[in-house]
Amino acid sequence: MTFSTFSKLKKPEAYWSYKVYEKTDGGIKLINKVGPVKNVVVENYEVVACGMLLGSGVFNGGVKYAEVGTGDVGWGVTPPAPSISTTALTAPLTRRLPFSKSFVDLVTLEPTDTQTSRIRISFMLNFFEPDVDGQIIREYALFGGDASSTLSTGHMINVIRPTPLPKEAFFRIVYEVDFLF
């Protein structure tokens, strides 16, 4: 068997979901839940996966940042699907560190300490964050490799352009991205 007869490994599937919470005088309440919605695992995923398997310096840590962007207002309510060759958001706005990275139980779909073939990365846009409040969020992505807090750095792993979502000061948006291998 020659090297040319090998085929690439299948990319994982990835699904985004989010919950929107509203802060009121009476407390915090869930006002919207969307997903899971399948998204695009981009070509750079393979570079990050290989680097992680090798334990290569900048790839240690896997997903390092979530990035959200305002996209293009011309997209309207139905943004175009990103391609697998996408490497950056159209109009990046800010980055957040994941607040949780976990394995997911394949039956209950809840986080677990047991190693499974499903993982979840979670991040949030919290209440009263001036860098995002008042913005229309049209695109999201996860970055690894040499990603830093600087926008558009690192290797994009996946991307989604869902229905535009306004981020108001009194909203908390919690995002979860599940990868199935």
The per-residue pLDDT for 15 is: 94
One-character DSSP codes across 41-62: EPTHHHHHHHHHHHT-GGGTTS
Question: pLDDT: is 88 or 26 the higher one?
Answer: 88
What is the SS3 assignment for 160? strand
DSSP code at position 150 = S
pLDDT tens string 135-178: 999 999 999 989 999 999 999 999 999 999 999 999 999 999 99
Rounded to whole angstroms, how far apart are CA atoms 61 and 51? 10
The per-residue pLDDT for 83 is: 93
The per-residue pLDDT for 9 is: 61
Per-residue exposure over 20-29, b if at least 16 CB sit within 10 Å of its own CB, e if not: bbebeeeeee
> Is 37 in contact with 18 (CB distance < 8 Å)?
no
The per-residue pLDDT for 52 is: 76
Q: Write a three-state SS string for 75-118.
A: HCCCCCCCCCCCCCCCCEEEEECCCEEEEECCCCCCEECCCCCE
What is the SS3 assignment for 145? coil
**Nearest of 119, 118, 124 to residue 99 by alpha carbon:** 124
| Confidence band of 5 (pLDDT split at 50, 70, 90) | low
pLDDT tens string 17-74: 999 999 999 899 999 999 999 999 998 887 887 777 777 777 777 899 999 999 999 9
Write down the residue that tokens 């490799």 correspond to.
145
